């Protein structure tokens, strides 16, 4: 027996004392797009990739901030019906959003900005508009009026309508960052973009990311359940995320484009899990507006999207799609809830 | 115990039989839930066939059985990543067994099993480190080494018994 | 047993012992909850929550008179007072695990606990 044989084994055993598990190679917490974002990147080249990701976030924030005078979205909003040149990122986002609006028959509509600000959700000066005001506002919501020229990279929006990317911006940011990080050779990363979660690959040890789903009835404390994913976006739209109360009535930020008022569909949150963050983000809003029954039939009609969905009703009942049967679990404190599984 | 002799049909039958046994053990073991949530920790029952083959047959025959088991095992489990992990682990394990065969006699066979289990785990970790481009997976090494030694002793003793019984059968046939 | 066998047996025993020791040490360490305090995106302080003997507060000053008062007790933390208009961080109350960090958006303050009981990587919502 040669000692040469012993050495590698022993040193390997001892060396591992210095290695810590699961510490991100690079991480960052930043404030952007009016929310908090936390990025964890693992593996070689993590720091450089993370730095690029952060500058992409700030760049897209500049383009898509509706409250900023010289952003692209403001330029479209102030165009008075004239074509406005837009960047490739904005063109792609608008194109995808229009596609989602068509797919959901207008349940997602980016042109609801006038209504959103009338309710005060943009500034925090909340108020309940009168019925006649709402009747006027809802005529100003119509995604079909937005026209895109992808060859010349221009967008045209009629005067009297206003765009807002709020319902898709963070999801699209996740999709863009995911692609960008992977192009730089990153195979494992966790992006938390103000409630939206985008995972790249699996955890460094190969296991799945454990993503908690917030409990709409007690969003600040315990999670409702956990879903295990890899290479997926997890996006929730919930009435608890932004709301105000007036005269005993609760009004939240997810508006029904048909009424220009908060969508009352009997749901408190919808979580969409899929490969593409833009689709997940846009559809989580649209599915919230649609309600449970229409949402289920939408899911059944569109297997090509390859999505998994979690619906939480006001009653507390949870409905999940069949793909989540093994990967979704209620947390212990929530285990008495009723969970219905929908098959395709 | 002598290396397998006889015509090629006999050899083919023996190899296919052992491959099937290895694959069956592998697939059944995959269904047993492991109480420890660390990737790579398992009983490694299929290693019984590898160690047995190394001592009862030849290293080349054992390699053939091993490769067939790894390939079919990952095809049947439907996860291609398993193929690469198993291949890395399997090859390291096989190399260490080749060395063991020179160092030990059949009486110390129970020792070869934990040694090969350790090298199987190291091989798996190397593949994982290669894929994830990060050495941090080696933080699992102590867990895998300990479990490898314990489960290896278990499968080693199993193999020792197996060899005794099988040699009995073989002698009778002769 | 010949010499080689003895050597290998001893080697295996040593490896097993070293591993057991490592695993024991690792498993006793992970129960510690680390509180990380971020301001404007930079980590400014890390506190071992599990070993806080007496409750105390930290005053976190920001620009233009902004402040957050952080109350720290053994195993939990909250923001007890803050200058922010929405007071969301104060209303969140105590947190003791990694489920959800306390975030004060206006003052750009994050209190995050790692290594606690909940084994979630993040939370969507």
Query: A8-24, pLDDT tens digit by residue?
Result: 444 443 433 333 345 67
Which residues are CB-contacts of B12 (< 8 A; sequence separation ≥ 6)? none
DSSP bridge pairs for A321? A342
Find the distance separating the first CA and the last CA of chain B, reported in whole Å.
12
C122 part of a folded domain:
no
In this model, does residue A7 exceed pLDDT 60? no
Contact B47, B154 (CB under 8 A): no
Contact B111 C22 (CB under 8 A): no
Per this entry, what is the length of chain B?
174
Helix (H, G, I), strand (E, B) or coil at A45: coil
Give the structural domain span for C16: 1-30
* C42/C11 same-domain check: no
Q: Would you tell me how many other CB atoms lie within 10 Å of the CB of residue C64?
A: 5
Question: Chain B interface, mutation test: which of C1, C13, C18, C22, most B Cβ atoms within 10 Å?
Answer: C22
Compute the distance between CA of residue A166 and CA of residue A194 in angstroms, rounded to an integer: 12
Q: Hey, what are A302's tokens?
A: 């569109």
Chain C residues with CB under 8 Å of a chain A CB are 3-4, 7-8, 11, 14-15, 18-19, 22, 38, 40-41, 85-86, 91-93, 99-100, 103, 105, 108, 110, 118-125
Q: Hey, what are A120's tokens?
A: 């005060």
**Is C23 an interface residue toward B (CB < 8 Å)?**
yes
Contact B65, B16 (CB under 8 A): no
Question: Chain A interface, mutation test: which of B92, B132, B135, B152, most A Cβ atoms within 10 Å?
Answer: B132
Q: Which residues does chain C have within 8 Å of residue A241's beta carbon, measured at their own beta carbons?
A: 125
Compute the distance between CA of residue A295 and CA of residue A342 in angstroms, rounded to an integer: 11
Q: Which of B39, B134, B138 sits opposite A43 (nearest CB)?
A: B134
Residue range A28-56, pLDDT digits in tens: 888 899 888 999 999 889 999 999 999 99
C65 part of a folded domain:
yes
Contact A1, C4 (CB under 8 A): yes
Q: Hey, what are B50's tokens?
A: 């590898």
Nearest to A283 by CA among A90, A274, A297: A274
Q: What mean pLDDT value characterizes chain A?
A: 89
CA A320 vs CA A59, A235, A276, A308, C57: distances in Å: 36, 14, 19, 8, 43
Per cent of chain A over pLDDT 70 is 92
Range list of β-strands (E), A178-296:
188-193, 196-200, 209-214, 223-229, 233-238, 243-246, 249-252, 255-256, 261-262, 267-274
CA A243 vs CA A43, A70, B76: distances in Å: 40, 28, 51
**Which residue would you say has higher pLDDT here, A204 or A319?**
A319
C123 part of a folded domain:
no
Q: Rank A51-65, B81-95, C106-120 by mean pLDDT and report only the highest.
A: A51-65
The confidence score (pLDDT) of residue C62 equals: 85
The confidence score (pLDDT) of residue C51 equals: 79
Contact B104 C9 (CB under 8 A): no
The confidence score (pLDDT) of residue B5 equals: 56
Q: Which subunits sit against A, judged by 3+ Cβ pairs under 8 A?
A: B, C
* C84/C25 same-domain check: no
Compute the distance between CA of residue C111 and CA of residue C104 in angstroms, rounded to an integer: 9
The confidence score (pLDDT) of residue A4 equals: 39
Query: Domain limits of chain B?
Result: 8-173
Write the DSSP assignment of C70-114 as a string of letters. Answer: EEEETTEEEEEEE--SS-HHHHT--B-SSSS-EEETTTTEEEEEE
Which residue's entry shows tokens 């999207």?
Answer: A305
Q: What angle do CA A210, A212, A214 make, to 5 degrees?
A: 170
pLDDT-based confidence at residue A108 (cuts at 50, 70, 90): very high
Contact A291, A267 (CB under 8 A): yes
* C54/C25 same-domain check: no
Per this entry, what is the length of chain A?
344
Compute the distance between CA of residue A44 and CA of residue A49 in angstroms, rounded to an integer: 9
DSSP bridge pairs for C113? C35
Contact A44 B134 (CB under 8 A): yes
C58 part of a folded domain:
yes
In this model, does residue C23 exceed pLDDT 60? yes
CA B161 vs CA B94, B98, B107: distances in Å: 21, 21, 11
The confidence score (pLDDT) of residue B38 equals: 67
Q: Rounded to 10 degrees, what is the CA torsion of A174, A175, A176, A182?
A: 100
Compute the distance between CA of residue A313 and CA of residue A331 in angstroms, rounded to an integer: 17
Compute the distance between CA of residue A201 and CA of residue A229 in angstroms, rounded to an integer: 9
* C41/C5 same-domain check: no
Q: How many domains does chain C have?
A: 2
The confidence score (pLDDT) of residue A37 equals: 92
Contact C119, A210 (CB under 8 A): yes
Compute the distance between CA of residue A83 and CA of residue A96 in angstroms, rounded to an integer: 19
| Residue B136 to chain A, least CA–CA distance (Å) | 6
Mean pLDDT value across residues C22-50? 78
Contact C4 A9 (CB under 8 A): no
Domains of chain A and any CATH numbers: 26-61+167-243+251-342 (3.10.520.10), 68-156 (1.10.3980.10)
* C46/C92 same-domain check: yes
Contact A86, A94 (CB under 8 A): yes
Q: What is the pTM of this model?
A: 0.63
What does each of the 174 residues of chain B score in pLDDT, given as a tens digit?
A: 445 555 688 888 888 999 999 999 988 888 887 776 666 788 888 889 999 888 888 899 999 999 999 999 888 877 777 788 889 999 999 999 999 988 888 888 888 999 999 999 999 889 888 876 667 677 778 888 999 999 999 999 998 888 888 776 555 444
CA A115 vs CA A29, A106, A120, A128, A158: distances in Å: 32, 15, 9, 11, 16
Contact A210 C121 (CB under 8 A): yes
The confidence score (pLDDT) of residue A11 equals: 40
Nearest to A333 by CA among C77, C117, C35: C117
Mean pLDDT value across residues A127-147? 94
Contact C56, C65 (CB under 8 A): no
Contact B122 A12 (CB under 8 A): yes
Contact B149 C18 (CB under 8 A): no
Residue A239 has what DSSP assignment?
A: T
Compute the distance between CA of residue C66 and CA of residue C82 in angstroms, rounded to an integer: 8
Compute the distance between CA of residue C40 and CA of residue A31 in angstroms, rounded to an integer: 7
Q: Which of B39, B118, B138 sits opposite A16 (nearest CB)?
A: B138
pLDDT-based confidence at residue A104 (cuts at 50, 70, 90): very high
The confidence score (pLDDT) of residue A324 equals: 94
C108 part of a folded domain:
yes
Q: Which subunits sit against C, judged by 3+ Cβ pairs under 8 A?
A: A, B
Contact A36 C103 (CB under 8 A): yes
Q: Rounded to 10 degrees, what is the CA torsion of A268, A272, A277, A281?
A: -30
Q: Hey, what are C30's tokens?
A: 């992970």
| Residue A234 to chain B, least CA–CA distance (Å) | 23
C74 part of a folded domain:
yes
Fold of B8-173: Arp2/3 complex 21 kDa subunit ARPC3 (1.10.1760)
Nearest to B95 by CA among B116, B117, B79: B116
The confidence score (pLDDT) of residue A145 equals: 94
* C47/C103 same-domain check: yes
Beta-strand pair A318-321/A339-342: parallel
CATH number of residue C104's parent domain? 2.60.320.10
* C48/C6 same-domain check: no
Mean pLDDT value across residues A295-300? 96
Contact B49, B25 (CB under 8 A): yes
C120 part of a folded domain:
no
Contact A319, A340 (CB under 8 A): yes
Residue B139 has what DSSP assignment?
A: G
* C23/C76 same-domain check: no
The confidence score (pLDDT) of residue B83 equals: 87
Q: Which residues does chain B have within 8 Å of residue C20's beta carbon, measured at their own beta carbons?
A: 146
Contact B137, A8 (CB under 8 A): no
Helix (H, G, I), strand (E, B) or coil at C39: strand
Contact B39 A1 (CB under 8 A): no
Mean pLDDT value across residues A153-171? 93
pLDDT-based confidence at residue C13 (cuts at 50, 70, 90): very high
In this model, does residue C117 exceed pLDDT 50? no
Nearest to A22 by CA among A36, A41, A39: A41
Q: Hey, what are B21's tokens?
A: 């046994």
* C38/C25 same-domain check: no
**ipTM more than 0.85?**
no
**Which residue would you say has higher pLDDT here, A79 or C120?**
A79
């Amino acid at each position: 027996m040669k000692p040469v044989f012993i050495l590698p084994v022993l040193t390997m055993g001892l060396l591992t004392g210095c290695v810590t598990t699961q510490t991100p190679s690079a991480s960052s917490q930043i404030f952007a797009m009016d929310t908090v974002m936390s990025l964890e990147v693992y593996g070689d080249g993590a720091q450089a990739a993370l730095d690029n990701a952060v500058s992409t976030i700030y760049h897209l924030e500049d383009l898509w901030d509706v409250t900023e005078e010289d952003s692209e979205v403001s330029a479209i909003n102030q165009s008075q019906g004239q074509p406005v040149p837009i960047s490739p990122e904005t063109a792609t986002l608008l194109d995808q959003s229009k596609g989602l609006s068509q797919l959901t028959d207008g349940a997602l509509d980016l042109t609801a900005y006038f209504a959103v600000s009338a309710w005060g959700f943009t500034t925090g000066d909340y108020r309940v508009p009168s019925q006649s005001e709402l009747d006027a506002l809802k005529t100003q919501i119509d995604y079909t009026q937005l026209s895109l020229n992808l060859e010349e990279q221009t967008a045209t929006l009629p005067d009297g309508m206003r765009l807002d990317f709020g319902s898709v911006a963070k999801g699209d940011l996740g999709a863009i960052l995911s692609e960008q990080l992977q192009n730089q050779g990153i195979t494992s990363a966790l992006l938390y973009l103000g409630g939206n979660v985008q995972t790249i690959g699996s955890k460094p040890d190969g296991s799945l990311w454990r993503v908690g789903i917030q409990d709409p009835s007690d969003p600040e404390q315990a999670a409702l359940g956990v879903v295990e994913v890899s290479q997926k976006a997890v996006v929730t739209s919930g009435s608890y995320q932004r709301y105000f109360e007036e005269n005993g009535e609760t009004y939240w930020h997810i508006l029904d484009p048909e009424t220009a008022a908060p969508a009352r569909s009997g749901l408190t949150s919808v979580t969409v899990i899929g490969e593409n963050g833009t689709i997940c983000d846009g559809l989580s809003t649209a599915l919230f507006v649609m309600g449970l029954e229409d949402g289920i039939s939408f899911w059944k009609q569109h297997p090509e999207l390859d999505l998994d969905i979690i619906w939480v009703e006001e009653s507390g009942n949870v409905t999940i799609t069949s793909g989540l049967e093994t990967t979704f679990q209620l947390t212990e404190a929530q285990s008495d809830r009723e969970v219905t599984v929908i098959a395709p | 115990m002598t290396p397998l002799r006889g015509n090629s049909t006999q050899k083919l039958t023996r190899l296919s039989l052992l491959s099937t046994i290895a694959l069956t053990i592998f697939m059944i073991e995959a269904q047993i839930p492991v109480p420890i949530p660390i990737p790579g920790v398992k009983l490694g029952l299929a290693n019984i066939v590898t160690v047995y083959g190394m001592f009862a047959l030849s290293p080349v025959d054992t390699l053939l059985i091993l490769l067939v088991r790894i390939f079919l095992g990952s095809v049947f489990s439907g996860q291609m990543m398993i193929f690469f992990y198993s291949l890395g682990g399997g090859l390291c394990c096989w190399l260490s067994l080749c060395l063991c065969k020179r160092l030990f006699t059949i009486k110390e066979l129970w020792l070869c099993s934990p040694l090969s289990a350790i090298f199987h785990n190291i091989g798996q970790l190397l593949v994982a480190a290669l894929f994830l481009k990060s050495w941090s997976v080696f933080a699992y090494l102590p867990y895998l080494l300990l479990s490898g030694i314990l489960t290896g002793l278990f499968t080693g003793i199993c193999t020792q018994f197996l060899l005794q019984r099988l040699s009995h059968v073989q002698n009778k046939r002769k | 047993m010949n010499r080689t066998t003895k050597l290998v047996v001893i080697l295996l025993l040593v490896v097993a012992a070293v591993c057991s020791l490592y695993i024991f040490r690792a498993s006793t360490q992970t129960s510690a909850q680390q509180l990380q305090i971020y301001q404007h995106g930079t980590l400014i302080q890390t506190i071992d929550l599990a070993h806080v003997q007496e409750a105390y507060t930290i005053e976190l000053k920001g620009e233009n008179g902004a402040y957050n008062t952080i109350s720290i007790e053994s195993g939990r933390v909250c923001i007890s007072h803050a200058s922010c208009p929405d007071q969301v961080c104060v209303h969140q109350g105590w947190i003791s695990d990694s489920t959800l960090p306390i975030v004060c958006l206006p003052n750009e303050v994050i209190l995050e606990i790692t290594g606690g009981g909940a084994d979630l990587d993040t939370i969507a919502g």
